[in-house]
Amino acid sequence: MTVSNPPIFLQSELHPAEDVRRWISSSVGGVPGVDAQESLRVTPNGTPNMTVVVAAGGAYVQGSENLYQGMYFTDNRGASSVTIQAADGSNDRIDFVVIHIKDSEYSGSDNEVVIEAITGTPAPIPVAPAIPENSLLLARVAVNAGATSITSSMLTDERTFIEVASKGYVDGLLPVGMMVDFGGPTAPTNWLMCDGTVYDRSQHPGLFDVIGTAYNTGGESSVQFRVPDYRNAVAIGPGDYALGAAGGSKDAALPAHTHTMGTHKHTMGTHTHAGGAHSHGIGTHTHSVNEHKHTADHEHGTYWSGDGGAHSHDTISSSYGGGAFGQDGAMATGNTKTGLSLGSAYTAVATGTAAAHSHYVTIPKLGVGTSKVSLTTNSGGNTSTNSAGAGTTGSTDPGDTSTTDPGDTNSRGVAPDGLNYPPFMTANKIIKAV
């Protein structure tokens, strides 16, 4: 019978220490380590010399000499000093600081726990020493050739940590193949980085059972599989693409596409248009005066003798408009014609032969009274007018503009690296392997 008897903590029974250690191991998830952040931290001595100081704290140390040896618990109840062997004069060396359980049940004659330095071998390229059985590694010490004291730069913290009450339980709740974001540079125990690494199926059979060859990209042998590669990538759910499919590009081109704009309105508020100095050119032109009216009171100078003998002009008087025509000088005598109507024709008759003279006609102002005027304009030259400012125009709402479909726009532009990303922050993706 292979069942271990008696079960531990059975009343009135003797229980071997191994059973208790195995219970301790299962309680902390089988992961050895120190029990708090500062437990058993290794630091240089305050007075520089070839010693280091190991802080107080508890540790769970896995027995490694027997399959069923289980895990020991021990604690350091005060700071301990550990001496580092003198440095070699020519070559560097690598030492370890460990907490070591000695159990005569499995080897030797001692039953104790010691915190000690394991000394390496000096060499041009030094190699770390082997760690004793039943030991927990606390720190690595790089002992430089000719060194006379240990400094912080020579120490590397090698401790692992456990969560006594819950780690094993919580770890068991997380399924193999689960992927999560992780802030550290390396994967924790029982997890692998999602970096596309190829593994033998025998290394992680549970993980292979879950993901199989879904993330293989080619080049794997028949006994290998590849973990997902989430470097420079984000996840999308399977749908149009199968599980494990990869695609896309950080420099992807924008495909041809259409923007359709429905009926819409643009409202323009009160605004001003200011015009600077400018000119308007008007070509050579004529004004022809159509039907118009005027009265002509006029006068002439003295009676002429000889060729310009005595003569007279008719004076035309009407009720339409006003004005005057005649020769400068004294009032002439002549006939008078009254009662003319608009548009009637009358020729004034003078006697004698008149000397050269002028008649001046004053045309009433256009658009005044009942005069009828038409203008004909002909182009042929330019005149100009100038203004320092054309003034302003304003509108509270010049109206709306609408369109049912303004058409399509297309683009195939390629953005430079980084310009087509939304805001992002990087984190490692890890996958549970055990």
First-last CA distance in the chain: 29
80-84, 347-351, 367-371, range with the lowest pLDDT: 367-371
> Is the pLDDT at 381 greater than 70, yes or no?
no
Return d(Cα 84, Cα 353) in angstroms, integer.
153
Nearest Cα to 52, choosing from 95, 94, 82?
82
Q: What percent of the chain has pLDDT over 70?
A: 65
Contact criterion met (CB below 8 Å) for 210 and 177: yes
Q: What is the pLDDT of residues 234-259, one digit of tens each?
A: 888 888 888 888 877 766 666 677 87
Structural domains for the chain? 17-167 (2.60.520)
pLDDT at position 61: 96
Confidence band for 232, pLDDT divided at 50, 70 and 90: confident
> Is the pLDDT at 272 greater than 90, yes or no?
no
DSSP single-letter state for residue 253: B
Return d(Cα 194, Cα 72) in angstroms, integer.
34
pLDDT at position 367: 44
**Higher model confidence: residue 315 or residue 181?**
181
Q: What is the pLDDT of residues 146-169, one digit of tens each?
A: 999 999 999 999 999 886 445 555
Average pLDDT over residues 100-119: 96
Q: What percent of the chain has pLDDT over 90?
A: 38
Secondary structure (3-state) at 410: coil
Average pLDDT over residues 402-426: 56
Top mean-pLDDT range of 163-167, 302-306, 410-414: 163-167
**Higher model confidence: residue 318 or residue 276?**
276
This prediction has a pTM of 0.43
> Is the pLDDT at 265 greater than 70, yes or no?
yes
pLDDT at position 66: 93
Contact criterion met (CB below 8 Å) for 107 and 161: no
Counting Cα atoms < 13 Å in the Cβ hemisphere of 95 gives 25
Which residue intervals of 183-339 are DSSP H helices?
A: 205-211
